[in-house]
Amino acid sequence: MQLKKTQQGPRNIRRQLAVATCSLLAGASHASSLIASGDNWKIDSALLIYAEKDRVSLAEGILNIRKEIDDDEFINARIVTDVLTGSSPNGAVPSSTAQTFTNPSGNSTYTEAANTTPLNHTFKDLRNALSVDWDTPLNRNLRGTLGGNISREYDYLSTGISASLAQDINQRNTTLSIGFSLNKDTWDPVGGVPAGFAVMPAFPGKKTISGSNTDKTVQEILLGVTQVINRRTLMQANYSRGQSDGYLTDPYKILSVLENDGSGNLRGTNPYIYENRPDQRTYQSLYWKGVHQFPNENVLNVSYRYFWDDWGIQSHTVDLRYRFDFDGGHYLQPHLRYYQQGAADFYRQTLIDGEETTLSYASADYRLGEFVTQTIGLKYGFEFKNGAEINFRAEMITQKGKDRSADAVGILQNQQLFPDNEAYLLQGGLSLDSDMVIKYIMRLFK
Amino acid sequence: MPDLERRADYFVGHFEAMASNCEVLIDTEDKNLAQEITRLAAAEVCRIEQKYSRYRDNNILHRINQGAITRVDEETARLLDYAQQLYQLSEGQFDVTSGVLRRAWHFDGSDNIPSAARIKALLPLVGWEKVQWYNPQIQLEKGMEIDFGGIGKEYAADRAALMISTFVAGQSDTHACSTPVLINLGGDLAVTGPRKNGNGWQVGVNSGASTMSPQAADFSLKQGGVATSGDANRYLEKEGMRYSHVLDPRTGWPVKNAPASVTVVAASCTDAGMLSTMALLYGPQAEDFLREQDVPWWCQWHNKEYLL
Amino acid sequence: MSMIKTFLFSAFISLVLSACSLEPVQPWDRDLLAQQKMQLVADPLEIYLDEHTYFSKEGSSGGQSVGGGGCGCN
Amino acid sequence: MFSRLSTLSVTLLVFLTLPAFAAEPAPDFTLPSFPDNTEINLKDFKGRVVYLDFWATWCPPCRKSFPWMDEMHERYKDEGLSIIAVSVDKKRELIAQFINKTESTFIIAHDATGEVAKIYKLRAMPTSYLIDRNGQLVMTRMGFRSSDKDKMEAAIQEQLEK
């Protein structure tokens, strides 16, 4: 520690002393109000481990860097890497006998035991993504944001741009916003893009493909209103509409085709065919969120979304987070989420022999089915006096679906067709200011 | 149980703490309220005394002084932050690690002056700059000690006043919620506001043979606090030289020609205490320092023949 | 289904309209609203991870904001 | 789309730099100072140029304006500039926490209830007002942008020379 050089004679220290004493006596309240000075880089990072029972595991790391480049003008960059391993349902239904499938590559086979949900065991993927946003004031009450993003997997490339405007009105108590995004994605699936309803050939046959790669575009528009209700309450309401065009099918998902005798047995030849979806989807959603701080400083954050599309899917999502603040910068935040979805019109858990020639579209992807997702979680966070934060959370996610009675024919009535799921999520996060990193490094060398 | 005494138009509560007679003057006619306020003040002062007494071996201070890395609570952290700020503000004159010097100095009026070698041996154990304080963790070097003795009483007076203000403000009775109170911890005073009649509290400062600032002439306490540093009865005397008990932590020796005592009025009792302590540390320049601060003060000097 | 939509739309519109009759919060009273925990997205990384997770497990997505990018997981 | 946008923002900016008060008297007020709790009366500053700033610890641009206000105070205090920074924080200890980290020497006042802010019809944080030696409001500035610094300093100099 350095002392100032003694000045000539005594100097007035009363004011500095009084300020110091004020902090001593009043007890500085916690640093949540401390905002890092804009010259620094704000660094947020998180590591997520997601594991499904007997299925997929995912490790995902994020690094987010935000810097104020001019008055109230920010650049935000985010790097994400995730590694996925394990297996996921391939769309076929369980059977009383073992089932053998040909891998998408066509080079090998895998066998699923009797009475279990068939899973594609060769799932292994590495994804790297980068997104950059530029957020700037256009005038005192208008902000604009421009963003770009790219995400790369070994069989998938997604690139996109987005732009939004936010106009404050009503003495900044109301914000109107509008946003657009455009994404162009390219599939380069292993073994090529299967033709719609192409049969999964027995090894070593090759499936019929429509090409080696394919693509889709996704456009979205969002209109939103954010309203300050009072000193402690804030609400947001959005309407959004999106449209996807192009190849919207999952190139790895198949359907089981049954004999048309009501027995529920797989048909004798080529019992599995690749799924086929429409090449356009229009979806809309209404979203509402409220944030309220109680006099005890706890914060409730609750949202509801109603989503519907022209595939016949509609869903309701309720999300609730409640933050309890404790002395010394600790907080706990329970999280509850409830999601209920109705099935797409062309969702089928099985097909009957011959239907593939009469139907235009069919998919057994459980994500297009009728199901409920429930999430329960708890987050613990600690805010340091200097504004840094460290946090952890653990969540349990369960997914339970409803079988279509029309598809559960004959012996399949004894099987659970929908692949219910149970997953656990662990996350750790750390937020810092570049200043703190520098100070910490200097302390290490001291 | 603290005892309560009724005076003309107010109550006085008494209790003993921090080796002082403590008083709480409560500007109310409500005996129950006065009782409750006195109890609160006594509880807060005793709490601070126990938490930061250097004569106990079961408190946070004792744990810190063992020299291990210690994680401290928020209140202790604030005190340590404050100690650090004062160290910087006083350019090293005010140092909570200087208590170690008392192992050599016993100001009992005798001629028992320690040897220069003894002081020199202690000096490596003094100096806030050697303390590893990274809020909320602290570590002292082996043999060093922290002592809040120089802040404790004033801090307790302010804390008690603050607690009472909060308590009183929470009273539903409109009379009760504007009850002004004066805390007196053996001469260190803090008030919660002027008296109900709008006047300040009349405070007698023993100003025998002293100089004072112009503002001190007709003075009554409306806001803040008063504190006195120095003790005319604590000194050593050898070969006609009087050593005051005010030690300069930078040299380990008493400040030469310091005033016998300094009394200051400031925005809080703690402020007043720090200003009066620093004035003593300025020695013969004490009054220059006080004038610079623009506060009411009284300064009592030893008999002039002791001045060099 | 269409009744749900009609209801939601009218709720949405009435919410927007009722905002006009609110007593505005003054600039000097925005201390709580300035806190990080009072932001609509208090922890952006947490929300990003949640959206990514549910995007790959459910048939619906979006609604809160635009942009962010896609992946082959759905 | 963007060219049209910038036209819009240019129009709005022109509006915003117009003085909000055409030389009307600055409303008087009495507020406690920080940390001494003494009374600050605007009328006591007659004869000096006053830079009156409304700020809060929770407002990032406000915090960023402190070094600049310090600089102005150091540079012009002897020529007759007084800076009064009125905090609208609800609690005093928040001010203490912030001021502890700065070395500011200008006057800080505390308007815990926002009473004075209301009289001054504050529309943004921070907002600062320049008051001439006769107590007339001569300039209002909303927000704090580094690009405004020179313009504001010029306005201060102009008033000091009067």
Could you tell me the two tokens for A267? Answer: 């048909």
Q: Where are the domains of chain B?
A: 3-54+153-191, 58-142, 203-308
Closest chain C residue to A389, measured at CA: C43
Q: What is the mean pLDDT of chain A?
A: 90
B223 touches chain D (CB under 8 A): yes
Q: Where are the domains of chain C?
A: 31-60
Tens of pLDDT, residue by residue over B16-54, are 998 889 999 999 988 889 999 999 999 999 999 988 988
D123/C28 Cβ within 8 A:
no
Confidence of residue B303 (pLDDT cuts 50, 70, 90): low
Tens of pLDDT, residue by residue over B63-115, are 899 888 888 888 899 999 999 989 988 888 899 999 888 888 877 767 778 88
Tens of pLDDT, residue by residue over D4-42, are 434 333 333 333 444 444 568 999 999 988 887 778 999
Angstroms from A194 CA to nearest CA on chain C: 16
Look-up of token digits 């005033």: B259
Look-up of token digits 């993927």: A125
What is the value of ipTM here, to two decimals?
A: 0.73
Rounded distance, CA A22 to CA D89, Å? 15
Rounded distance, CA B125 to CA B288, Å? 31
Q: Which residue has the higher pLDDT, D149 or C47?
A: C47
pLDDT of B223 reads 84
Tens of pLDDT, residue by residue over A246-259, are 999 999 999 999 99
C27/D123 Cβ within 8 A:
yes
Chains that touch D (3 or more CB pairs under 8 A): A, B, C
Angstroms from D130 CA to nearest CA on chain B: 30
Query: Is residue A124 within 8 Å of residue A85, measured between CB atoms?
Result: yes
Could you tell me the two tokens for C66? Answer: 């635009």
Q: Where are the domains of chain A?
A: 65-229+243-284+339-369+399-445
Tens of pLDDT, residue by residue over C18-32, are 666 778 899 999 999
Query: Is residue B24 within 8 Å of residue B181, measured between CB atoms?
Result: yes
pLDDT of D97 reads 80
Mean pLDDT in order along chain C per 10 residues (74 residues): 70 67 88 93 94 94 80 70
State whether residue D98 is helix, strand or coil: helix
B169 touches chain A (CB under 8 A): no
For testing the chain B interface, which of D33, D34, D36 should be mutated: the one with the most B CBs within 10 Å? Answer: D36
The burial of A265, by beta-carbon neighbours within 10 Å (0-12 exposed, 13-18 middle, 19 or more buried), is given as middle
What is the separation of C-alpha B288 from the centre of its chain, rounded to a whole number of angstroms?
21
Q: Does residue A31 register a pLDDT over 50?
A: no
Contact pairs from chain A to chain D, CB under 8 Å = 79
pLDDT of B207 reads 60
pLDDT of C46 reads 95
Q: Which residue has the higher pLDDT, A112 or A337?
A: A337
Antiparallel, parallel or unpaired: β D81-87 and D49-55: parallel
pLDDT of A290 reads 96
Tens of pLDDT, residue by residue over A55-77, are 999 999 999 999 988 888 999 99
Confidence of residue A203 (pLDDT cuts 50, 70, 90): confident
First to last CA, chain B: 50
pLDDT of B232 reads 65
Rounded distance, CA B111 to CA A83, Å? 79
For B252: left if phi > 0, alpha if psi spans -120 to 50, otherwise beta; the answer is: left
Rounded distance, CA A393 to CA B38, Å? 47
Q: Does residue A123 register a pLDDT over 80?
A: no
Q: Which residue has the higher pLDDT, A121 or C33?
A: C33
Instruction: For residue A176, give every residue at least 6 positions away whose Cβ sits within 8 Å of its Cβ, in sequence order, or none.
Output: A166, A167, A169, A224, A225
B79/A24 Cβ within 8 A:
yes
pLDDT of B174 reads 73
Helices H, strands E: what count in chain A? 3, 23
Tens of pLDDT, residue by residue over A33-57, are 344 345 678 999 999 999 998 899 9
Name the CA radius of gyration of chain C, rounded.
17
Closest chain D residue to A138, measured at CA: D9
Rounded distance, CA C54 to CA D71, Å? 52
Closest chain A residue to B157, measured at CA: A25
pLDDT of A2 reads 38
Restricting to C residues 22-61, those with a Cβ less than 8 Å away from any Cβ of D are 26-31, 34-35
What is the separation of C-alpha A73 from the centre of its chain, rounded to a whole number of angstroms?
27
Per CATH, the number for B58-142 is 1.10.3980.10
D54/C30 Cβ within 8 A:
no
D-chain residues near A20 (CB < 8 A)? 96, 100
* Mean pLDDT in residue range A156-172: 94
> Model pTM?
0.74
Query: Is residue A223 within 8 Å of residue A241, measured between CB atoms?
Result: no
Tens of pLDDT, residue by residue over A224-245, are 999 999 999 999 999 999 999 9
B293 touches chain D (CB under 8 A): no
pLDDT of B222 reads 85
pLDDT of D11 reads 37
Tens of pLDDT, residue by residue over D95-146, are 888 887 677 789 999 999 999 999 999 989 999 999 999 999 999 999 898 8
In chain A, % of residues over pLDDT 90:
72
Q: Does residue B148 register a pLDDT over 70?
A: yes
Name the CA radius of gyration of chain A, rounded.
27
State whether residue A259 is helix, strand or coil: coil
D101 touches chain B (CB under 8 A): no
- Domain annotation for chain D: domains and CATH numbers: 18-161 (3.40.30.10)
What residue type is assigned to position B149 of the chain?
G
A17 touches chain B (CB under 8 A): yes
pLDDT of A21 reads 87
